[in-house]
């Protein structure tokens, strides 16, 4: 094989490394077991309507990291889309993340910011936010028990199928709580969607004569020319697949959640009036419904009388499922440490990305950490400056 570097996985982590190495004149082979590049950020036009569908669930780009923002703008322009989410609880729709609008609607009140703060502080006093030990304690310490039970408890149980007292507090810290009527989901400096779609962006990153992409190629399939046995020790490898799979699960399996998506084309121009509607209650089996036309209100090519929706269901991943979210219980964290020890024995293999590090990473974080790995380790390793 004629390559200076093999990259396992063509998600944003793998492609960022590939693009940087190719720019330095290195020959890179990128393999992916799927039949397309882009990992979970991949999107495609729905065949019936032409509406861009995020095949693995809605992907919203946002970052406050200037280096990442500068880098991604080399490959795509962004629209001015700002993400907003609503949630249906007991048949009534509320704005998320929890803000003054949610609080006033829930308590049927007209509290000022100060009054709402005082009310929530009282309802949240069971737990101290600084010492909250798990998701339930953290959530209650931030928004109080009534709002927790309405909007978080059952949604989280559906999404994670793990008792909220066993989940890490950080999961919920991702959501802001605001005592004004701002219901932007993200608070980052830059936000938007790629003007001509995720796949166009992703393809531009891989568009170099120095990059060869091999799809439908599993790194653990020894019938393929590029596989673990053939490559490790011969060529440096960047591995962005699941870390436990790499070591043949020798330290036990790390728990992941996977998602099932049910796509439907409906004969209406607008189904729910917004991109993402969460369903907070246990009685509804799905966690949320995505309606893709609303991600690109600027596109006039979409049909006026049809829409594409996708219901999202969450469950534990088996070995043959796509691992999406690390569950990250205390047992998982202990296993991860054991895998990190094993990694240090793999001298020429660099573990990265969401699956390779068993970490929740947004796109900007995956890209940022790939740029760091490139600048701090790989560039010199491959003979760069």
Catalytic-residue membership of 335: no
Does residue 278 bind ligand UDP (CB under 6 A)?
yes
Pair 376, 280: CB distance under 8 Å: no
95 binds, among ligand FAD, ligand UDP, none (CB under 5 to 8 A by kind): none
Catalytic-residue membership of 178: yes
Indicate the SS3 state at residue 291: strand
Element (H, E) at 363: helix 363-373
Catalytic-residue membership of 360: yes
Does residue 171 bind ligand UDP (CB under 6 A)?
yes
DSSP bridge pairs for 29: 6, 212
Pair 5, 382: CB distance under 8 Å: yes
63 binds, among ligand UDP, ligand FAD, none (CB under 5 to 8 A by kind): none
Where would I find the beta strands (DSSP E) of the chain? 5-8, 28-31, 43-45, 52-54, 61-63, 85-89, 92-96, 190-192, 211-214, 237-239, 256-266, 276-279, 288-291, 307-316, 325-326, 349-351
- Nearest CA to 276 among 81, 78, 38? 81
Applying CB under 6 A, which part among 36-44, 111-119, 247-255, 334-342 lies near ligand FAD?
36-44
Query: What is the token pair recorded at 322?
Result: 């796509």
For ligand FAD, give the closer residue by CB, 336 or 366: 366
Does residue 28 bind ligand FAD (CB under 6 A)?
no
For ligand UDP, give the closer residue by CB, 87 or 369: 87
Residue whose tokens read 């995505």: 290
324 binds, among ligand UDP, ligand FAD, none (CB under 5 to 8 A by kind): ligand FAD
For ligand FAD, give the closer residue by CB, 33 or 306: 33
Catalytic-residue membership of 362: yes
- Nearest CA to 240 among 33, 27, 26, 20? 33
Whole-number Å distance between alpha carbons of 123 and 276: 28
259 binds, among ligand FAD, ligand UDP, none (CB under 5 to 8 A by kind): ligand FAD
Does residue 41 bind ligand FAD (CB under 6 A)?
yes
Applying CB under 6 A, which part among 10-18, 168-176, 263-271, 337-345 lies near ligand FAD?
10-18
Footprint of ligand UDP (CB under 6 A)? 87, 96, 151-152, 155-156, 159, 171-172, 174-175, 278, 280
Footprint of ligand FAD (CB under 6 A)? 8-14, 31-34, 39-41, 56-61, 218-220, 240-241, 259, 324, 353-355, 361-364, 366
């Amino acid at each position: 094989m004629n390559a200076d570097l093999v990259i396992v996985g063509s998600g944003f982590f793998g492609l960022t490394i590939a693009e940087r190495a190719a720019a330095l004149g290195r020959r890179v082979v990128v393999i992916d077991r799927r039949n397309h590049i882009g990992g979970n950020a991949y999107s495609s036009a729905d065949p019936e309507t032409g509406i861009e569908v995020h095949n693995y669930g809605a992907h919203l780009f946002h970052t406050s990291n200037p280096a990442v923002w500068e880098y991604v703008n080399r490959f795509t322009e962004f629209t001015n889309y700002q993400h907003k989410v609503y949630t249906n609880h007991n048949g009534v729709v509320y704005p998320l993340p929890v803000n003054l609008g949610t609080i006033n609607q829930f308590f049927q009140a007209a509290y000022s910011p100060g009054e709402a703060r005082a009310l929530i502080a009282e309802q949240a006093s069971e737990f101290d936010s600084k010492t909250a030990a798990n998701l339930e304690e953290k959530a209650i310490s931030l928004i109080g028990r009534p709002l927790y039970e309405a909007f978080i408890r059952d949604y989280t149980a559906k999404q994670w199928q793990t008792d909220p007292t066993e989940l890490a507090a950080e999961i919920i810290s991702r959501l802001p709580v605001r005592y004004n009527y701002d219901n932007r989901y993200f608070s980052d400096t830059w936000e938007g969607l790629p003007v001509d779609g995720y796949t166009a962006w992703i393809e531009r990153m891989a568009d170099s004569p120095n990059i060869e992409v091999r799809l439908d190629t599993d790194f653990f399939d020894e019938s393929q020319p590029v596989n673990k046995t053939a490559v490790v020790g011969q060529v440096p490898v960047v591995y962005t697949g699941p870390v436990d799979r790499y070591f043949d699960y020798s330290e036990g399996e790390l728990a992941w959640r996977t998602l099932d998506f049910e796509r439907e084309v409906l004969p209406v121009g607008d189904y729910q009036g917004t991109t993402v509607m969460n369903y907070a209650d246990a009685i509804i089996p799905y966690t949320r419904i995505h309606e893709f036309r609303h991600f690109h209100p600027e596109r006039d090519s979409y049909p006026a009388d049809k829409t594409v929706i996708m219901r999202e269901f969450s469950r534990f991943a088996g070995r043959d499922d796509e691992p999406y979210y690390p569950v990250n219980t205390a047992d998982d964290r202990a296993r991860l440490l054991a895998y990190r020890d094993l990694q240090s024995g793999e001298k020429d293999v660099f573990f990265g990305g969401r699956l390779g590090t068993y970490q929740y990473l947004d796109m900007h974080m995956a890209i940022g950490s790939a740029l760091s790995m490139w600048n701090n380790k790989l560039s010199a390793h491959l003979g760069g400056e």
